Amino acid sequence: MNPIVKGFYDDTTGTVTYVVYEKPGSVCAIIDPVLDYDPKAGRTSTASADKVIAFVKEINLSVEWILETHAHADHLSAAPYVRSRLGGKIAIGSNITRVQGVFKKIFNLEPEFRLDGSQFDYLIEEGVPFTIGNLHAEAIHVPGHTPACMAYKVGDAVFVGDTLFMPDLGTARCDFPGGDAHTLYRSVQKLLSLPSETRLFMCHDYPPEVREVNFESTVGEQRVHNIHIHEGVSEEAFVEMRTQRDATLDMPNLILPSVQVNIRAGQTPPPEGNGVSYLKIPLNQL
């Protein structure tokens, strides 16, 4: 059984949130919900998530899962807010524990911050099937961008996270802590080994001026047209390209606030004595 997929594009971060379901009135999963964040004011808001919530209510869906493809570096997760309005379990790949270990040190987080993924409702293992109502799903571990990246296959649809972009944009960067271009190459080969008609849904789109926003491709299109990793590109050539390109890229605008929140399953740090939560800016660390 193949799912219906509804995407919600956030212009500010270039992120796509997906609602995946069988039919109106059925069970659904929400993938990568966005919490709006104003870095100038340090203020969050929920306009993006509220659009998703309104759609779910409009067609009478019941949320079973709120799935994160990875601990995002470009937006804060709205997973706890969505769960508070719609229910569901917040889940992420089990290797989030590795990411937590790296960033607990970078941010010098409170001693009570646990490195076991217990901030999430459920940790997903590669290859272990799960269901979204009557839809059959499984996770595909696709590290390289981060150690914990998961793609989610639901019927003929795969939600690839940051592993792949649209063919004219290529692939994810590999220079974040725990990233590795060799590993990303092998992860992409997992995805490109799927049937050519498999639908691929990107976590982001940063469209050039010559086209409109688009976040759906196919395995066949990626094999032929992906500018970084089409058929015939060797692992060595890819790693050389990716390494050189990553050295020219700035850090994402929201990486410091995002990661601190997202390794906590979208929760903000514990309030301090005055009742206010604070985010840290580690100097000269990234």
Q: How does DSSP assign 217-255, residue by residue?
A: EEHHHHHHH-TTT-TT--HHHHHHHHHHHHTTPPPPTTH
Q: Who's near 130: CB < 8 A, 6+ residues apart?
A: 65, 124, 137, 138, 139
Instruction: Label residue 286 by pLDDT band (50, 70, 90).
Output: confident
- Tokens matching residue 12: 């500010």
Instruction: Provide the CATH number for the domain around residue 187.
Output: 3.60.15.10
Q: Hey, which residues does 140 pair with through a beta bridge?
A: 151
277 domain residue, yes or no: no
Supply the pLDDT for residue 209: 86
Contact 205, 148 (CB under 8 A): no
269 domain residue, yes or no: no
Distance of CA 195 to the CA centre of its chain: 23
Instruction: Label residue 283 by pLDDT band (50, 70, 90).
Output: very high
Number of separate domains in the chain: 1
Mean pLDDT of the 109-124 span:
97
Supply the pLDDT for residue 127: 86
Instruction: Label residue 87 by pLDDT band (50, 70, 90).
Output: very high
| pLDDT > 70 fraction of the chain, expressed in percent and rounded | 100
Which of 29-33, 54-58, 83-87, 282-286 has the weakest average pLDDT?
A: 282-286
Which letter does DSSP use for residue 49 in this model? H
38 domain residue, yes or no: yes
**pLDDT tens digit sequence for 210-232:** 899 999 999 999 999 999 999 99
- Cβ neighbourhood burial of 212 (10 Å; 0-12, 13-18, 19+): exposed
pLDDT at 285 over 90: no
Q: Hey, which residues does 93 pair with through a beta bridge?
A: 124
271 domain residue, yes or no: no
For residue 211, the enclosing domain spans 4-263
- The helix/strand/coil state of 136 is strand
**pLDDT tens digit sequence for 23-55:** 999 999 999 999 999 999 999 999 999 999 999
276 domain residue, yes or no: no
Q: Who's near 77: CB < 8 A, 6+ residues apart?
A: 32, 33, 34, 35, 68, 261, 262, 265, 266
Instruction: Label residue 96 by pLDDT band (50, 70, 90).
Output: very high
Q: What is the pTM of this model?
A: 0.96
